[in-house]
Structure 1
């Protein structure tokens, strides 16, 4: 899969290359750590199966083509279930290069999701290109636009760049957990309690035009995602 020069120019100043606490090379789970990944994945698969899902969205058929799934980082736990219930095409998720990202990538692999490792600050351009290739090959993309380290509920412009590269629509997922465990993390990561109700409000937004300002589009996505999330 090749990109035109005009496509690659979209990656220019809109993807940050400043330093952060994310390693340049992705940290992966070692072979002996997989011993823990399998039982944890099985445990959470059973956990997810108990949730009572309510949604305004009918399962998407393969003919609809790939989308760019957008949800806040704090709702990441529900991603595998969204893929299983609502989307025919496999999800490729953008996951950070950190050690935590390595565990998440391993967990997602068992749950049937593919991972591209990178962020807006490390391996940003190469990660977006790889993710765009996956979309153009027919897979859905999954992005938490405020990840991997925040600010919380702030959409970064790299999300918009991906839509311009692939010319595929956004699928916003506003998620409300009725009863959940809330962790003391930067995003207040939430895990819905077993057998609790989860409301998911989906909304499709057409891909932005090349001439549109990335920051302005990102702000519109941010505001709309907050609205359908009940924030």
Structure 2
């Protein structure tokens, strides 16, 4: 019964709430022009992930994206929720199932589809960048798209990622930066550049 609640009931209710919040907010999109057929690595902070499916769908209405989600049991509810919002999943992270997730991500990109990563997930530190995003980008030559979402009205949790839930009837500003090519950078240089770009429009 508990498993059914976690994997079915809770995610269904969560995605209804997320859709309601999105629909009742004014939306402003700051998007670059991209080739819809080019596969990208989508990067956003863990604390800002809630509205990012809509950011992606506005950029690539016919695109397919798979999010890398932790194999920890807490990731199950998130997996099912994002599936309702049109996002597939690759299970695994830097702490659990990392090698499997890395292979899965590379496979998706080589098939021409996008992947989504929270570089500071699943457990932080907040606004840090793990090696995984760099490894995937440099092994596939896929460029990185940095996503941010800034609500004018929101709740913010006192969690490690300062998770943000926008409130209804405000405004959502969605940002996507120009594609980032890190093929010529060292791992540390790439991580620093990615972090710098991701913090430009980040929530505090």
> Normalization by structure 1: what TM-score?
0.80
The alpha carbon displacement at 1:59 in A equals 7.1
Write the deviation string for residues 45-71 of structure 1: whole angstroms up to 9, x where unpaired. Answer: 2222222221221575633x1211111
Asked if 1:106 corresponds to 2:88, the answer is no
Ranges in structure 1 where 5+ consecutive residues have no aligned partner = 1-28
1:146–1:58 Cα change, 3 Å: same
Contact in 2 for aligned 1:70/1:172 (Cα 8 Å): yes
Partner residue, 2:27: 53
Asked if 1:135 corresponds to 2:96, the answer is no
CA distance in 2, matches of 1:107, 1:96: 14
Partner residue, 1:40: 14
Moved more, 31-40 or 77-86: 31-40
Between the two proteins, the alignment pairs up a number of residues equal to 201
CA distance in 2, matches of 1:67, 1:123: 22
State the secondary structure of the residue aligned to 1:220.
helix
Partner residue, 2:92: 118
CA distance in 1, matches of 2:49, 2:77: 14
Partner residue, 1:181: 155
1:111–1:218 Cα change, 3 Å: same
Contact in 1 for aligned 2:67/2:87 (Cα 8 Å): yes
Asked if 1:84 corresponds to 2:64, the answer is no
Q: How large is the RMSD of aligned CA atoms in angstroms? A: 2.0
> Normalization by structure 2: what TM-score?
0.89
Contact in 1 for aligned 2:32/2:176 (Cα 8 Å): no
Asked if 1:171 corresponds to 2:160, the answer is no
The alpha carbon displacement at 1:38 in A equals 2.1
Given candidates 196, 199, 203, the residue that maps to 2:170 is 196
1:58–1:215 Cα change, 3 Å: closer
CA distance in 1, matches of 2:137, 2:55: 20
State the secondary structure of the residue aligned to 1:205.
coil
